[in-house]
Structure 1
Amino acid sequence: MEAQPVEPSALGFLLYRAHQLARGRANQAARPTGLELSHAAVLSTVRSGGVRSQRELGATLGIDKSTLVRIVDDLERRGLVNRRRAPEDRRAYEIVLTDAGEQRLTEAGELFSGAMTGLLEVLAEPERRQLHDLLTRFVDQP
């Protein structure tokens, strides 16, 4: 029997449900650190060093300006990042990870990883690799 074609809307719904499941489990696991995935995405991107300004950060993460400002405000209140005027453009702000931010991100990262490992237990290692490769190709399309 020949496999039926995949309905695009069904696939879209599965991707949405997978996102909800992964995000919920990760956020629940990292609750002791006070970080959610949105916080970790900002902290990780800042830590990578390639992005400095709030504008670049929002563009890189695909986060709208008002949402990003709320996240950065929250992280700054907690002492996990600092904002400072960009030396090359005094109108722009750089986001800088603090030592406390680095430590909290490391703690949360371990908890996020554990949550994802638990979710992925339904897949054999070759299937995990295949899922990773397929999702990487999917999100890297032009």
Structure 2
Amino acid sequence: MRVEPGGWTRGPHVETGPQTQAEETAEVPGALPESLTGFVGYLLRRVFARFAACSDGPEDGSRDFLVLDALTGGDWASQLDLAERLGINRTLMVGVVDRLEGRGQVLRTRNPDNRRQYILSLTDEGRSAVEAGRRAVAERDARLTAALTPEQVPRLNTLLARLLPPGAQDLVRGTGHLVAQAHHRLRRLGDEKLAGTGLRVRHYGPLSLLATSGPCPQQRLAQELAISGPATSQLVDELVAGGMVHRGRDPHDRRRHALELTELGHTQLKRVAHAVGLLAAETAELLGPGGEDELRALLGRLLEPAHPGAAEATATARRD
């Protein structure tokens, strides 16, 4: 039975709900906003969206594989601990284990040392599924990272693993899974810094662009952010409901609306910008000397050609 490594302590588990349909399909081809390409978290979200669009199946299948793969090293003494180590929502983890148990790939038994916990064990069916899954992951990753050289792929994986909690770095394999887990973790870390403000990290992009662009039609905002119309509408609705953005008339075309920051919007922009800065500093520390620039350049290469100029922009970008 696997024993938790000494010194690893469980942090607060942040319950984050599933992304809406608008969020899942938000990114569209186009030039990326220069004000955001200096942030690893932003680029990681774009790469995650690109990988998700190329996925062969639902995200549930990815979670199932992560759990099965983690169990190849031995039984896990606590279902909850494994969920937190892999960054899987507790409620979602119950569904994952139910599916795996129903397929005969995982055996769930009471922990004799703690009757409130379940021990998870991999069955022979589960081992066969892991072998097939690893082959599928390798084939998918080869397609997704075709823009990188054979030397760059393992380097990318090493840098992505540094963004995961220490206890998870040896459990998550494959570029696609590393991108997903790193993206989810940075999003949680950023949103934690904004707890109680009514803000999310994703609000930084539209707020910062509106602050510099003045009254701006919603269509132009969508183009500037390189996101879809429905995703833009969702973001704008959130900001309007929060009193941060006002829908007025476009001074250049009175027939359409223009978006403008309110006084509260300017105040909230300072708050979210501070949180984004803290997250960027934390990300740089996790990546180590030179790691931030290196990862940013690699992510930029993965975003070509859907986002022309991304590789060049990210290779030279620096955060203000």
TM range (shorter): 0.7 to 0.9
Q: How far has the Cα of 1:48 moved from its partner?
A: 2.0
Q: How far has the Cα of 1:99 moved from its partner?
A: 0.5
Q: How far has the Cα of 1:133 moved from its partner?
A: 3.1
Structure 2: 5+ residue runs without aligned partners?
Answer: 1-33, 166-285, 288-320
1:22-37, aligned counterparts within 5 Å? 22-25=51-54, 27-28=55-56, 36-37=61-62
- 8 A Cα contact 1:22 1:116, kept in partner: no
- Relative to the length of structure 2, the TM-score reads 0.37
1:12 to 2:37 alignment: no
Match of 1:53 in 2: 78
Match of 1:21 in 2: 50
Match of 1:39 in 2: 64
1:138 to 2:163 alignment: yes
- 8 A Cα contact 1:46 1:52, kept in partner: no
For 1:122 and 1:21, how far apart are their aligned partners in 2?
Answer: 13
Aligned CA distance change for structure 1 residues 126 and 65 (closer, same or farther; 3 Å)? same
For 2:73 and 2:52, how far apart are their aligned partners in 1?
Answer: 22
Q: How far has the Cα of 1:74 moved from its partner?
A: 0.8
1:1-142, aligned counterparts within 5 Å? 6-8=37-39, 11-25=40-54, 27-28=55-56, 36-49=61-74, 51-139=76-164, 141=286
For 1:72 and 1:38, how far apart are their aligned partners in 2?
Answer: 10
What RMSD, in angstroms, separates the aligned Cα atoms of the two structures?
2.6
SS at match of 2:77: coil
Rg: which structure is higher?
Answer: 2
Q: How far has the Cα of 1:24 moved from its partner?
A: 4.9
For 1:48 and 1:108, how far apart are their aligned partners in 2?
Answer: 16
- 8 A Cα contact 2:83 2:93, kept in partner: yes
Q: How high is the sequence identity, in percent, across the aligned residues?
A: 28
For 1:68 and 1:39, how far apart are their aligned partners in 2?
Answer: 9
- Relative to the length of structure 1, the TM-score reads 0.78
SS at match of 1:136: helix
For 2:76 and 2:119, how far apart are their aligned partners in 1?
Answer: 9
For 1:24 and 1:88, how far apart are their aligned partners in 2?
Answer: 44
Q: How far has the Cα of 1:58 moved from its partner?
A: 1.2
For 2:91 and 2:111, how far apart are their aligned partners in 1?
Answer: 20
Q: How far has the Cα of 1:61 moved from its partner?
A: 0.8
Task: Provide Cα deviations, 1:95-139, integer angstroms capped at 9, x if missing partner.
Answer: 111100110111011011111012112111232243233223333
Structure 1: 5+ residue runs without aligned partners?
Answer: none
Aligned CA distance change for structure 1 residues 24 and 52 (closer, same or farther; 3 Å)? farther
Aligned AA (1:92): Q
Aligned CA distance change for structure 1 residues 92 and 114 (closer, same or farther; 3 Å)? same
Aligned AA (1:61): L
SS at match of 1:125: coil
Aligned CA distance change for structure 1 residues 111 and 15 (closer, same or farther; 3 Å)? same
SS at match of 2:151: helix
For 1:38 and 1:22, how far apart are their aligned partners in 2?
Answer: 15
Aligned CA distance change for structure 1 residues 109 and 24 (closer, same or farther; 3 Å)? farther
